[in-house]
Amino acid sequence: NWARTFRWQPSRTYVPETDADVANLVRDARRARAVVRVVGARHSPSDIAATPDADAMLGRPGFAVRMHRMANIVHIDRARLTVTAQAGITLEALSVALDRAGLALENLGSIAEQTVAGSMATGTHGAGSRFGVLSSTALEIVLITGTGERRVLRRDDPDPDAFRAALCSLGCLGIVVQVTLRVVPAFQLAVVEGELDFATMAQQLPSLLAQSDHTRLWWMPPTDRVLAQYARRITPPAADASLPPPPTRPRPGWVRGSLIPHHLYEASLYAATWMPRLLAPLDPYAAIAHADAHSIPRGRSFEMFKLDCLFKQYVTEWCVPLADAARVLTALRDAIRAAGPAVAGAVHAPIEIRSVAADDALLSPATASSTPAATAAPFVYIGIITYRPYGADAPGRARYWALYEAILRQRGGRPHWAKAFPLGPAELARLYPETWATFQRVRASCDPDNVFTNAYVRRHL
């Protein structure tokens, strides 16, 4: 994968160009009793997209499917504000094409290299209490099931269970070949940044997160410093009007754009894997690396949402109801302080705090379950990162992860599906009491012979 934390070697790789190619490869796989995994942009920091070789799967060969030749825009409907695209298109390519048509995706996460289907499969989200995960904008999903059947699933289907399962499918229902998403008129983001302390953040979390359309908070443990970024949407005054062009994003010079964040910081983190006390003075580098990502106050939405995620990293992120988030953060702060030097060497980056609106995907960590998503309270994602400077493992990472997972687990947090986590099916089923069984029923009907499986799927589902 992108972070080089997992490797795999499929027995065979398919690169389909048409829906018929996809159906044929599924039939090939059934004949060969093979398992199939689609690989998107390989950005998931786990083995979710891994296609095991024959040995690992107890004798079943593993077929990988790459979708980069099915990456075209099919249709943009400006009147209805929809886009239909093939599943392998990246969010970046989709955003650029939409921008040319005066449109935009409603929200994005920190990067746009992912494929549209890969992002939807794991419940990829951005920031903003009024905005759901990317797949919450889906209107139609076309997939080839484990029997080679082409199924068109729509939000307004009389029985929407299959559609709701496909909104966060973990790649287990079939190979998605095409999606139709709701889009919005192109907009810009005006960004203001500020700093606050941990106590203020914990006391005022709901209002801080609601203070702008897209609020991102970065808390820098073990300190009490919190950087806040508030982004406000600026939309055209009328449907056919356009906004004045944003200022051109100045390219940071080599020192701020490359030397400090990508070379000096990585080299210093590498040195700190031997001598963790070197980490303390590195805080400003982390701040600069983050600050430089938003070096203009206003810009096109899809450019402003993105962050420079620096270099290879371990990352995990769990989701809790807004009402529990401050308590979880306080418990994390206490635990990080208590652990002291045992984890300090692994706390490389600020802890990122983002809210998302509840959605109706059966297995989205932000699912509203049976409550209508529109009336349910938002959720909060809390993410931690330990970099892998030049591929090296930082001391204390296992302890940092264990500490984080214990707290989130104890408080009923739900892990981001793309990121590695230690929960098995029984515990996960308890976290999705109203939707787990329905997802499994849809999965059995779409993939009765378990074609779309791998070690990740067997471990968690």
Ligand X SMILES: Cc1cc2nc3c(=O)[nH]c(=O)nc-3n(C[C@H](O)[C@H](O)[C@H](O)COP(=O)(O)OP(=O)(O)OC[C@H]3O[C@@H](n4cnc5c(N)ncnc54)[C@H](O)[C@@H]3O)c2cc1C
Q: In the complex, which residues of this chain contact ligand X (CB under 6 A)?
A: 2, 37-45, 48-49, 67, 87, 109-111, 114-115, 117-119, 121-122, 124-125, 170-171, 175-176, 309, 418
Nearer Cβ to ligand X (49/451): 49
Query: Closest separation between CB of residue 277 and ligand X, Å?
Result: 28
**3-class SS at 177?**
strand
Query: Closest separation between CB of residue 375 and ligand X, Å?
Result: 23
CB 356 within 8 A of CB 379: yes
Query: Closest separation between CB of residue 89 and ligand X, Å?
Result: 10
CB 179 within 8 A of CB 120: yes
Angle between helices 322-339 and 397-410 (to 10 degrees): 150
Query: Closest separation between CB of residue 42 and ligand X, Å?
Result: 5
Report which DSSP code applies to 355.
E
Nearer Cβ to ligand X (118/185): 118
**3-class SS at 112?**
coil
Nearer Cβ to ligand X (45/221): 45
Question: Which residue matches tokens 């993410």?
Answer: 383
Distance (Å, rounded) from C-alpha 262 to C-alpha 103?
A: 33
Query: Closest separation between CB of residue 303 and ligand X, Å?
Result: 15
Distance (Å, rounded) from C-alpha 451 to C-alpha 460?
A: 16
Query: Closest separation between CB of residue 125 and ligand X, Å?
Result: 4
CB 319 within 8 A of CB 380: yes
Nearer Cβ to ligand X (339/418): 418
Q: Which residues of 413-444 are buried (b: 16+ CB within 10 A; e: fewer)?
A: bbbbbbbbbebeeeebbebbeebbebbbebbe
- SS3 sequence, 244-284? CCCCCCCCCCHHHHHHHHHHHHHHHHHHHHHCHHHHHHHHH
Q: What is the separation of C-alpha 137 from the centre of its chain, rounded to a whole number of angstroms?
A: 15
Query: Closest separation between CB of residue 418 and ligand X, Å?
Result: 3
Tally Cβ neighbours within 10 Å of residue 408: 24
Distance (Å, rounded) from C-alpha 110 to C-alpha 61?
A: 35
Classify 121 in phi/psi space as left (phi over 0), alpha (psi -120 to 50) or beta. Answer: alpha
Query: Closest separation between CB of residue 131 and ligand X, Å?
Result: 12
Distance (Å, rounded) from C-alpha 145 to C-alpha 161?
A: 15
Nearer Cβ to ligand X (21/224): 21
Which residues, including other chains, have CB under 8 Å from residue 102's CB and lie 6 or more apart?
78, 185, 186, 242
Nearer Cβ to ligand X (339/401): 401
Nearer Cβ to ligand X (41/191): 41
Distance (Å, rounded) from C-alpha 63 to C-alpha 57?
A: 11
Nearer Cβ to ligand X (49/363): 49
Nearer Cβ to ligand X (38/202): 38
Query: Closest separation between CB of residue 240 and ligand X, Å?
Result: 32
Nearer Cβ to ligand X (92/393): 92
Q: Which amino acid is at 83?
A: V
Question: Which residue matches tokens 């209805």?
Answer: 80
Query: Closest separation between CB of residue 140 and ligand X, Å?
Result: 14
- Cα angle 185, 189, 194 (rounded to 5 degrees) comes to 160
Nearer Cβ to ligand X (137/344): 137
Query: Closest separation between CB of residue 12 and ligand X, Å?
Result: 16
